[in-house]
Amino acid sequence: MDWKIFLTIFGAVFIAELGDKTQLATLLFASDKEANKYLVFFAASAALVVASAIGVLAGSLLSEYINEKYLHYIAGLGFMAIGAVTLYNA
């Protein structure tokens, strides 16, 4: 296992997930006094694993047809577009 790649991906996803809507939704589910905290944790974890699996599968499929360099450009433009829309709506 290449630990440098592992830690890079872990760090990027960890930072991206902090304070996002997913974490806030999980926080709200966990704040329910009747909710089993372990159930909330395992359900949220399973959802993140499935979402990540979809991302890996989609990335693998796209990389078969689109050059990796162009995928990086597309991802960068996507992030800039999301940032521009967020700034515009703020």
Give the model confidence (pLDDT) of 13-65 as tens digits.
898 888 888 899 999 999 999 999 999 999 999 999 999 999 999 999 999 99
- Domains of the chain: total: 1
Domain of residue 59 covers: 3-89
What mean pLDDT comes out for the span 4-21? 89
Q: Would you place residue 7 in the very low, low, confident or very high pLDDT band (cuts 50, 70, 90)?
A: very high
Cβ atoms 48, 16 nearer than 8 A: no
- Measured CA to CA in angstroms, residue 2 lies from 9, 13, 56, 57, 69 at distances of 11, 17, 17, 20, 21
What mean pLDDT comes out for the span 66-83? 91
Q: What is the pLDDT of residue 18?
A: 83
Q: What is the pLDDT of residue 36?
A: 96
- Measured CA to CA in angstroms, residue 66 lies from 27, 56, 60, 63 at distances of 38, 15, 10, 5
d(CA 73, CA 75): 5
